Structure 1
Amino acid sequence: MSAPHEPVPTGPVPVARHTREGIWSARYVWVTVGAVAMIFLAAMQSLAITTVMPFVVADLQGEALFAVAFSGTLATSVIGMVAVGAWCDRSAPTVPLTSAVALFVVGLLLAGLAPTMEVLVAGRLIQGLGVGGETVALYVVVARVYPSLLHGRVFAAFSAAWVVPSLIGPFLAGAVSDFLHWRWVFLGVAVLTAGAFVMVALRLWGLPMHTDEPSRAPIAPRLACAFLVAAGALGVSLAGEAGPFALPVVAASVVLILVAVRPLLPRRTLLAGRGLPSVILMRGVIAGALFGAEIYIPYLLIAEYGFTATWAGLGLTAAAIAWAAGAEVQGRVGDRLGNQRITVIGTALLTTAALVAMATALWLLSPAVIIAGWALAGAGMGLMYPRLTVLTLAYSTPANQGFNSAALSISDAVGAASAIAVMGLVFTGLGGTGAEYPAVFAIAAVLALLALVPGLRMGRAHEQR
């Protein structure tokens, strides 16, 4: 993301003082196209798979693994993030990005051809390795290709890359599932990813993106921690299979996650330390609130309102469009709003959306209520997500861009995976009582409110231009 700036031993990323070039100018256009394409494809698979997963578990008789199919991908993504983050701190991000995309495609192919739910989950685990590494590599690409003045615009473009998938992704996934087969949702994204990467790979390979201050920190301990974090997240997800030992398994898994994740994050992150630690922590909390609850939106529309896959997919469209709109607002006036206002507005929108979803599920209100209400969640996340990424880079130096970018994505994945796992346990435990959907949305509302704690302690880096 930044046109190689000069190494700075301490302090924020240097500011480009004068430039008339934008992210779509001749100098940056092919990198922008490639990076946005990767985000586009990640958005496509995320939105599409969320829509069709209720039909996948029904077809493969894998209802018990519904939450694991999501949380498992997020859990293994931590491993990919750590590996690629360390790799990027030692070299150019091009080879790490290529490796990550290859794993992503392999995982999609395995899931699309899976004969059982267990094999599909295995494919999702491999997919997680790829998408986690891809995310971190793209952040480092931005840091080393673009001047810091353009970082906010790049991340606004990343968020806006969800617009087209939000318009066609859920609807197309539902239509493919209804008229062809859900397997083509996985296989189609795999083909699209391979084709897009071939088109942009040569452009990335031609750019000098090596760091002048390669990190010499040992990789093995961090990789071991990443594996333990992934194991802990999977342990929470699968705790329901432990019968009477479910609670001890959950407790042990949570302790394992907290202990193992600490070396992967900046110091005092779990204590909401001021500055970068709170930026990283807030990302995980709001990710848990949104993504933990969002997978149950189409599930509710299908199970309780009789929606087809096509129409259930459209239930997520308003939220995705609102996300892109919120990101655009952040990109244009984020500096004037300031971090505290963005935090208050964003968390208020997210909390309100969760409460509207809870009320809809509790009293079976019109499905239009939950669809419109969930759009508020998208708007809030659009404000907060790109802002947190800009702040992370503003607090970073060329020597730790990989570590901090990985930490941001790790917090995102661990927060979402843990929330999905816990919500899955609650949902399964309350199954058939009528309280399962309201319960998961109530958990999301609590998490959204908790995000205020780190959100008001983020401080001000040199992100303002």
Structure 2
Amino acid sequence: MHEATPGVFDRRYRLTTAGLLTLVTFIAFEAMAVGTAMPTAVRDLDGLAWYGWPFSAFLVASVFGMVVGGDTGDRRGPRAALLAGVTVFAAGLLAAGLAGSMALFVAARAVQGAGAGLIAVSLYVVAGQAYPAAARPRLFGAISAAWVLPALVGPLAAGLVTTHAGWRWVFLALLPLVAAGLALVLPALRTLRGPGEGSRVPAPARRWWAVLAGLGLALLQYAGQRRDGPALLVAAVGLAALAAGLRPLLPRGTVRARPGLPTVVASRGLLAGAFFGMDALLPLALTELHGAGPTAAGVPLTAGAVGWALASQLQGRRPGASRLVLLRAGFLLLATGTAATAVVAAPVSGAWPAYLTWAVAGLGMGLGMPSVGVLLLERSPEHRRGADSAAFQIADVAGSALAVGLVGVLVAAATAGVLPLAAAVVVATAVLAGLALLGAAVCGRAGGGGAEDDYPGGGGGRTAARVQDEAGAEPVDASEEGR
């Protein structure tokens, strides 16, 4: 007789789930809404020349927050990390809503980014402790679905609030709602374990590497928005800074997709890069190639979000299904949807095929993202789950930024007359679909692995006691593990 699979809204988990989903929903709403309010905010603060800075400040600080969140979770437990994240994020909302100058507004966005990074990592640490393995697919499906409503109504609601109440209320109105989410999840946080005896002590240098990686991402973002020669130099410096900063923050062998945790982390980056790179290009392609208005150009993004939510719910109803099979299916659907979206480059196609193709890509993300989250918790030992969750989130941000940067380069080339925009769209879809196919080819390695999951520079190294605990064998000298 099989024990029934626990639901995330069973009595034991109800408040925890409601609190986590509330926090995710309103953080997602802020992420979707801020772009709508930003033009009005920078005009009001006389900061039009600084327009890109609030976005870059958020990005750099979020990477820093992810590393700090992972370190805090490993040293002091998920309760401390999540409390710190919500407090910092709320302080950033308040500071942004009250900012009297552009400099203060940029600083407030950096505070928000740090808080968002802390929260993003803490969610995985909480999921690993508060929920049994059988319930995690449903939890990650619910978290994915929590992004859908903000994606659908966030920009519209932010526009209405900005028009009728003022842009400051886009930030200030979220404060009581974020507090409500924290109040719901606090009772469960009190019962979660702190770090075990001999937990990993993080290297302080990891935080400086996070700053370097964040600056590299910001430079790539800046270069992607430029259309001049110096943008190439900025992009080169950004890539160098990103590569140097990421090396100590990601598990050893992530770029080569070594078996185990490195492949899990790499898969997250490949999923995010393939999807969000095309997500950024698609509205522009429909507008420029087919004359679509803002609403028609945005419909495919909505279709993708709905497909993501549907597939997330479907995979959550099959908690016993192989996560590796679902992850590979997600990559293949994403590759299919992305490659098929190249049809919008044809002058006779119109915009409507993208409504279908991008829904297919969304289905792939709905299968892939929750599955890779479940695999992360399976492959990550508890003593370093915070650091591994941080690496997981950083791979997402880095993969997205690199793909969007590539799209920016192709659009810049089209703007300069180097190639037609339609050709740039075809090249972009080919490269991004290739990333998804690469993910499908390597994701099977996520089921293996061992000592190579450690971090360069000792950031996640295991003691002999931990090796004994994990392997169930006699103590091994840690210096001999990799031989």
Q: TM > 0.5 between the two?
A: yes
Q: Is the 8 A contact 2:5 2:135 kept in 1?
A: no
Inter-partner Cα distance in structure 1 for 2:371 and 2:254: 18
Question: Residue type matched to 1:375 in 2?
Answer: A
Q: Structure 2 vs 1, CA of residues 50 and 359 (structure 1 numbering), >3 Å: closer, same or farther?
A: farther
1:252 offset after TM fit, Å?
Answer: 3.2
Matched, 1:30 2:52: no
Structure 1 residues 325 and 201, CA gap change in structure 2 (3 angstroms): closer
Could you tell me which of 366, 372, 388 is aligned with 1:404? 388
Paired position in structure 2 for 1:4: none
Counterpart Cα distance in 1 of 2:287 and 2:50: 17
Structure 2 equivalent of residue 91 of structure 1: 76
Measure, in 1, the Cα distance between the counterparts of 2:327 and 2:5.
Answer: 31
Superposition deviation, residue 405 in structure 1: 1.2
Distance 1:401 1:387 in 2: 17
Q: Residues 184, 449 of structure 1: CA spacing in aligned structure 2 closer, same or farther, 3 A cutoff?
A: farther
Q: Are residue 137 (structure 1) and residue 122 (structure 2) matched? A: yes
Partners of 2:447 and 2:206 in 1: how far apart?
A: 27
Find the aligned partners of 1:83 and 1:281 in 2 and give their Cα distance: 21
Alignment of 1:265-276 (within 5 A): 265-276=250-261
1:454 maps to what in 2? 442
The count of aligned residue pairs is 441
Equivalent residues in 2 for 1:254-333 (5 A)? 254-299=239-284, 305=291, 307-308=293-294, 314-333=299-318
User: What is the DSSP-based 3-state SS (H/G/I as helix, E as strand, rest coil) of the residue aligned with 1:402?
Assistant: helix
Aligned to 1:45: 30
Q: 1:123 to 1:421 in 2, by over 3 A?
A: farther
Q: Deviations over 1:187-209 (max 9, x none)?
A: 44455324433x32542453233
Deviates more, 1:385-394 or 1:291-300: 291-300
After TM superposition, give the deviation of residue 36 of structure 1 in Å.
1.4
Give deviations 1:331-353, integer Å, cap 9, x for gaps.
233643551x4344322322233
- Cα-to-partner distance string for 1:299-319 (whole Å, 9 max, x where unaligned): 5566664535x6665543221
**Residue 145 (structure 2) pairs with residue 160 (structure 1):** yes
Percent sequence identity over matched residues? 35
CA change 1:163–1:112 in 2 (3 A) is same
Preserved CA contact (<8 Å) 1:302 1:312: yes
The Cα shift of 1:244 comes to 3.5
Asked if structure 2 preserves the Cα contact closer than 8 Å seen for 1:82 and 1:223, the reply is yes
2:135 is aligned with 1:150: yes
Q: Match of 2:365, as an amino acid?
A: M
Shift of 1:141: 1.1
Name structure 1 gaps, 5 residues minimum: 1-16
1:356 to 1:246, Cα distance in 2 relative to 1, 3 A: same
Cα offsets for 1:26-70 (capped at 9, x unmatched) = 22211111111122223323333466778888998969966x765
**What does 1:122-271 correspond to in 2, within 5 Å?**
122-173=107-158, 175-176=160-161, 184-190=169-175, 192-197=177-182, 199-200=183-184, 202-213=186-197, 215-239=199-223, 243-271=228-256
Q: Secondary structure at the match of 1:238?
A: helix
Q: Is the 8 A contact 1:84 1:133 kept in 2?
A: yes
1:360 lines up with 2:348 in the alignment: no
Q: Equivalent residue of 1:430, what SS? A: helix
Q: What is the alpha-carbon distance in structure 2 between the residues aligned to residue 312 and residue 109 of structure 1?
A: 33
Q: Does 1:435 align with 2:416?
A: no
**1:363 aligned counterpart, secondary structure:** coil
> Contact (CA 8 Å) 2:18, 2:185: kept in 1 or not?
no
Q: Select the structure with the greater relative contact order (CA < 8 A; seq sep ≥ 6).
A: 1
In the TM superposition, 1:378-389 aligns within 5 A as 378-389=362-373
Is the 1:97–1:138 Cα contact (8 Å) retained in structure 2? Answer: yes
Q: 1:247 to 1:166 in 2, by over 3 A?
A: closer
Deviation at 1:395, TM superposition (A): 0.9
Whichever of the two has the greater Rg, that structure is: 2
Structure 1 residues 454, 359: CA separation in 2 closer, same or farther (over 3 Å shift)? same
Q: How far is the alpha carbon of 1:220 from its aligned partner?
A: 0.7
What's the TM-score once normalised by structure 1's chain length? 0.81
Q: What amino acid is aligned across from residue 330 of structure 2 in structure 1?
A: G
**Gapped regions of structure 2 (runs ≥ 5):** 450-483
Segment drifting more, 211-220 vs 409-418: 211-220
